[in-house]
Structure 1
């Protein structure tokens, strides 16, 4: 995926300041960081590579979902690097296509996410601590947590899901229709998943709730946030917003929390055709096509681009082989920290020293901007390294007037 002249021109036309009478949130969820600062800074090269493999699996699964749902390849797919993975997932799915079921991207339940918050299934409510992820679209919990027999609102047609990846990990489970509660808002007949067997690592997260678009949903059903809007729980706006920080976070539903940011939100147009919150921007002046992904800790871009940006910013690139490509880390010393500036909708946001530092390796601090080929055609995944610096608002249904807005987060 390359940033075309038309998309650059659209960037200039997509700047929108939030109106002064913008509505407050209908509901909010406050949630906590689940990975300690010490754990993050102690990231080893092996752990970084493991996170990147999980991220690749996540996007390969989303690409396969898109192909099964839409009948065509996702426009962001780089078939030369993960086309075989997507093909295997699609090839194993025909039996599931004939019934309303799907496979679940359980690779998200790993130590690459930073925050968890409460979401409940059932009547009476069974509450789980989930990661809220704009880079996927299904909601599921790990094995043994959800008790459908204890809920009077649980239904299922018995359809199973199964997911398996090239590294040998797999999970199976059942898709249910349930009453779901989040932030005090309740919806009915929401598609949710419950794994009954998994070889994936257990973590302090109970699962994941996807806030992407329906075309990448494996359950072939609306994500929770879309159901909230369609059932009238979010008021007049299909909108939600995230405020992430090193110590806590908040998810606002149906509006924005003005106390969480400074100035006005500046919006950039989103291309939702791929199923992701994809918007044009720049990093240190270089044009990027960004997928805004709250479920990814770092920023990930094409290796050659990260190498160039790191060098120009005064960092020390660390290049290691990775399959048929390379992995690029950007190291620096305390005496000279590279400056990274993102621009969206004409407004610029500079990474703080705290958010920029991701790990320590060989006496260098490693920036949370990594070069890796994870199967995206020149797209960037813009995760929490950037999002910790802003309050981010997401608005609009897929195929409509979709946009994402940022404003400096209040400290």
Structure 2
């Protein structure tokens, strides 16, 4: 989640960073449902600059639904500010009662859903006003077990200190839903591959899990000794050491056991966060935080592509991404170029924010908590709630945890939100 403020209000609202949706909304002070009673709400009494229209909106997620009125006000995210049209959630379903967020910060490529909010997204506004150098955002997710709670959201340029080597870019597969969907080369466990072809992955920061059609999930778990299946869910031995692997753009990325092995169950086994559920098409996987915690991810709207950066030696099998790879081929785990026409591997040459001693960038710095929190999935999926609770709370800057910094000037081209 990321902490934002609206208009003249000084109160922070914690919004879930959702790469699968472009709609932003926050719970309204007019909301009387149980969900709103346990969260921070926003309304005219909180900001003198808020304007509320007669337009309504309605969004249905895999788990949960929200409807309400459309409003406009300045939104402040770290050092960045823009006049944003967003939703005030009046009818918020009970599904949100146990979720830690007060709303959604939509960073998707564009929604085609009817009754959604028809207005420029935050990324559109930041780019149009030249507050960021490039229309992209980078995402670093931390995990609870590491104890760092140092998640980071970068606008306009990636934080090059968050990854080693170069970014491995894959072109987005065009789709009507505006998803960040990219080709999935293959998957496997400890270098034993499934040999799957024709799969794609919808990259979604708003989903905690790794979801795929049941047949693919069974095949993947068969490579983990001691697994069991019960419908769409699986268990694995808590002591499993095998690394699950996903291959994108010719690079094999490891998924840590810390991310795909869940809590211990009454039978002594641990739940698997790899779920056998077809969320969309028969060859589409929904790739959420289980994978994203292992890489630094860049969502590039200008060039319609997704890039992965290797966080450490553990995040990629055998080798890091080679800086000498060509634009039409990308390295395999052994560093040998393979034919991957939909991907490029390159070093980002644009501006990047400079971290301080607290690893906080000077432009647009704010923190967000992601580890262990419940996540929303796109329409057509069902949320599976993690047993753990979020660690820490969202913080606007390293210097102050109460109020955002001043609005970024147009010269601040790389803004980081931590």
TM-score, normalization by structure 2:
0.63
Q: Which residue of 2 aligns with 1:42?
A: none
SS in 2 for 1:148: coil
2:51 to 155, 162, 169: 155
Q: 1:163 to 1:290 in 2, by over 3 A?
A: closer
From 264, 271, 276, the counterpart of 2:179: 276
Structure 2 CA distance for partners of 1:197 and 1:261, relative to 1, 3 Å: same
Please provide the CA RMSD for this pair. Answer: 2.3
Separation in structure 2 between the aligned mates of residue 375 and residue 251 of structure 1, nearest angstrom: 27
Corresponding position of 2:131: 233
Shift of residue 373, structure 1, vs aligned partner: 2.7
Equivalent residue number for residue 19 of structure 1: none
Moved more, 152-161 or 338-347: 152-161
Q: Sort the Cα spacing of 1:166 and 1:277 in 2 relative to 1 into closer, same or farther, 3 A.
A: closer
Residue 253 (str. 1) matches residue 155 (str. 2): yes
* 1:196 counterpart residue number: 90
CA distance in 1, matches of 2:90, 2:200: 37
User: CA 1:239–1:172 in structure 2 vs 1: closer, same or farther (change >3 Å)?
Assistant: closer
Q: Report what 2:167 is aligned to.
A: 265
TM-aligned CA deviation for residue 338 of structure 1: 3.6
State the Cα distance separating 1:211 from its structure 2 match.
Answer: 1.0
Residues 293-332 of structure 1 aligned to structure 2 (within 5 Å): 293-320=204-231, 327-329=232-234, 331-332=235-236
SS of the counterpart of 1:215?
coil
Q: What does residue range 212-227 of structure 1 map to in structure 2 within 5 Å?
A: 212-216=108-112, 218-227=116-125
Which whole-Å deviations, capped at 9, do the CAs of 1:84-114 have from their partners, x for residues lacking one? xxxxxxxxxxxxxxxxxxxxxxxxxxxxxxx
Q: Does 1:242 align with 2:139?
A: yes
TM-score (normalizing by structure 1): 0.64
Q: Which moved more, 1:239-248 or 1:368-377?
A: 368-377
Instruction: Give secondary structure in 2 for the equivalent of 1:385.
Output: helix
Unmatched runs of 5 consecutive residues or more in structure 2: 30-40, 315-418
C-alpha change, 1:150 and 1:340, in structure 2 (3 Å) is: closer
Deviations for 1:254-279, whole angstroms, at most 9, x for unmatched residues?
10111111222111111243300000
**Contact 1:239/1:255 (CA < 8 Å) preserved in 2?**
yes
1:140 to 5, 25, 29: 25
Matches within 5 A, 1:370-389: 370-389=275-294
Q: Could you tell me whether the CA contact under 8 Å between 2:3 and 2:14 is conserved in 1? A: yes
* Structure 2 partner of 1:211: 107
Deviation at 1:148, TM superposition (A): 2.4
Structure 1 contact 351–386 (Cα < 8 Å) conserved: yes
Q: Tell me the distance in 2 between the aligned counterparts of 1:196 and 1:205.
A: 15
Q: Which has the higher helix share?
A: 1
